[in-house]
Amino acid sequence: MNRASSLISRFAASTAIFAAAIVLLAVFSFNAIRGDLFRDSFESPLDEWSSYLAGRIGEDADIAQMAARNHNMGVVLTTREGVFAFGPDGQPVTPEFLAQQASTVRTIIVDGHGDMRYSFYLRDSEVVNTNPSQLWVLIGGLLFLVGVVYVVQLSQLRPLRWLKESVEKVSAGDLSTRVPVVRMDEVGQVGRAFNHMTARVEQMLNDHDRLMADVSHELRSPLARIKVALEMLPEGDKREQIATDVREMEALTSALLERERIKNRTARHDHAEFDLVAMTRVVVTNFADRTPAVVLTESPEALSILADEALLKVLLQNLVDNAIKFSLDDSGPIEVRLGCSDESVTVSIDDDGRGIPGDMTDRVLEPFLKLDPSRGHRSGYGLGLNLCQRIVQAHNGSIEIQPREPRGTSVLVKLPLGF
């Protein structure tokens, strides 16, 4: 899956951007609270408080000193008798010392009666009681809320992930797959519709396969009776024509029953460990008297694989037989190759026959599909390659068919080492 383009990745990226915006907003708001934007809203209450404090002090320097100490601020009292200045700790200082700090504190001047003047130097922390730890608490709380929202949204997206996984399984041929339906919203409705669709498709295919198997099985009895009746007919063209038709019907019936037998065997997963190289050599030897020749051109000394040996033997026999069937009089040998990697084995079969049109390489695996007779594809019933596909899928492998240049066909089968 390309996570860069997945819905969950895009949702995670948008959540991260949203969290960054929340942090920036929190920092801006915190600084605004500590800055002039928020302090201006305290202007009128501070003026009223300062006027009240000035009235309490009057001309008494001792009260001014006590106010400076109690409120942790600088106070300058100007009276007819002189100028008295006190620092935030209540100790006497010079007015010039407090004036030098005017840029870092908030200065409020209150004019009294006559020549009376009161100057108050308040620190920002006294005007607005905030500290950096509160900012971190605020950011942590906001990020926690964003995380909770993200987890909740992921739980809302989980049915979509189930649906995607189920679609992949159905595309691989597992029609028994069903999507868990845990909600009654639109996503749940899609899940129920998907389950209903796959159930209907599975039922239709099962009915089709059962019908083909039953019809094929029931045809054997009347065919046998027809063969007996043929023996009583006199020699002639009419008898030979009927006999040919009966043989063709018998071959088709046998092919259908073999298809059903292999389908049932693939469902059982009867797997064991065996040497694929030794089995391939046996299959190649069985075609020694066929034309063109079949040769094993490349393989390791031994190749142990966990699979159904009988099914893989049918797979190789069908692929080689198919290559021989559609070879030409001047076709070169059919080449079989075995390869191995850390996780899988490969079986490739290359022929020099009539070939398959490039636009038919995917459809050629469909059952009962027969290619253009004008290209020499007259024999067979269109079941061999479909059987091969079923066997490969039962082993969680893949089969790929491609035309060769200037002619011929290349078949590549990949199977896992362990099933």
Assess if residue 387 is contained within a domain. Answer: yes
Percent of the chain with pLDDT over 90: 14
- Asked if residue 151 and residue 119 are part of one domain, the reply reads no
Residue 177 lies in a domain: no
- The token pair at 5 is 């383009």
Q: Which of the listed residues 116, 140, 171 is the one where a domain comes to its end?
A: 171
In a domain, 179, yes or no: no
pLDDT in tens, 156-177: 778 888 888 888 888 777 778 8
179 CB-near residues (< 8 Å, 6+ apart): 159, 162, 163, 166, 191, 194, 195
Of the ranges 78-82, 226-230, 309-313, 330-334, which is most confident? 330-334
What value does the mean pLDDT take over residues 349-368? 80
CATH classification of the domain holding 367 = 3.30.565.10
Name the β-bridge partners of 416. Answer: 344
Is residue 176 within 8 A of residue 202, CB to CB? The reply is: yes
Closest by alpha carbon to 313, among 179, 305, 48? Answer: 305
pLDDT at 282: 93
pLDDT on residue 377: 46
φ, ψ dihedrals at 77, nearest 5°: -110, 120
List all residues 6 or more positions away from 58 whose beta carbon is below 8 Å from its beta carbon: none
Q: What is the pLDDT of residues 180-200, one digit of tens each?
A: 887 777 778 888 888 899 888
Quick check: 362 pLDDT over 90? no
Q: What is the pLDDT of residue 159?
A: 82
pLDDT mean over 367-377:
57
Residue 200 lies in a domain: yes
- Please indicate, yes or no, whether residues 240 and 354 belong to a single structural domain of this protein: no
Residue 178 falls within a domain, yes or no? no
Question: What are φ and ψ of residue 414, in 5° steps?
Answer: -115, 130
DSSP 110-144: EE-STT-EEEEEE-HHHHS---HHHHHHHHHHHHH
One domain for residues 283 and 151: no
Going by pLDDT thresholds of 50, 70 and 90, the confidence category of residue 414 is: very high
399 in Cβ contact with 410 (< 8 Å)? no
Q: What is the largest CA-CA distance in the chain?
A: 154
CA distance 382 to 365: 8
Question: By C-alpha distance, which of 53, 101, 42, 106 is closest to 77?
Answer: 53
Prior bond to 95 cis, omega within 30?
no
Q: What residues make up the domain containing 192?
A: 186-266
Are residues 299 and 411 located together in one domain of the fold?
Answer: yes
- Region for 307 from its dihedrals, namely left if φ exceeds 0, alpha if ψ lies in -120 to 50, beta otherwise: beta
Tell me, what's the pLDDT at 37? 44
- pLDDT tens per residue across span 47-94: 788 888 888 888 888 998 998 898 888 899 998 888 999 988 889 998
pLDDT tens by residue, 226-267:
877 878 878 877 778 887 777 777 766 766 666 666 666 555
403 and 280 within one domain: yes
Same domain, 394 and 282: yes
Main-chain dihedrals φ then ψ at residue 109, nearest 5 degrees: -115, 130
Mean pLDDT across 118-138 = 67
DSSP for 334-384, written as a single string: EEEEEEE-SSEEEEEEE--SS---GGGTTGGGSTT----GGGT--SS-S-H
Averaged confidence pLDDT in the chain: 79
Burial class (CB in 10 A: 0-12, 13-18, 19+), 237: exposed
Say if 176 falls within a structural domain.
no
Quick check: is 8 in a domain? Answer: yes
For residue 363, is pLDDT > 80?
Answer: no
Distance of alpha carbon 309 from alpha carbon 305, whole angstroms: 9
Residue 54 and residue 69 in one domain? yes
Give the pairing of strands 304-307 and 344-350: unpaired
Nearest alpha carbon to residue 68 among 43, 97, 40: 97
Total structural domains within the chain: 4
Give the number of other Cβ atoms within 10 Å of residue 362's Cβ: 10
Domain match, 342 and 409 both: yes
DSSP lists the bridge partners of residue 359 as none
pLDDT the model gives residue 399: 92
Query: 91 and 207, same structural domain?
Result: no
Q: Are 22 and 156 contained in the same domain?
A: yes
Task: Identify the CATH number of the domain in which residue 233 sits.
Answer: 1.10.287.130
Q: What is the pLDDT of residue 3?
A: 44
Has residue 134 got a pLDDT over 70?
no
**Beta-strand relationship, 344-350 and 334-340:** antiparallel
Q: Please state, in angstroms and rounded to a whole number, the distance separating the CA atoms of residues 24 and 139.
A: 9
CB 194 within 8 A of CB 163: yes
Write the pLDDT tens digit of every residue in 403-412: 988 889 999 9
- The answer as to whether 368 is a domain residue is yes
Are 325 and 388 in a shared domain? yes
pLDDT at residue 33, as a whole number: 54
Residues 244 and 353 reside in one and the same domain? no
Going by the DSSP 8-state scheme, the letter that residue 92 receives in this structure is B
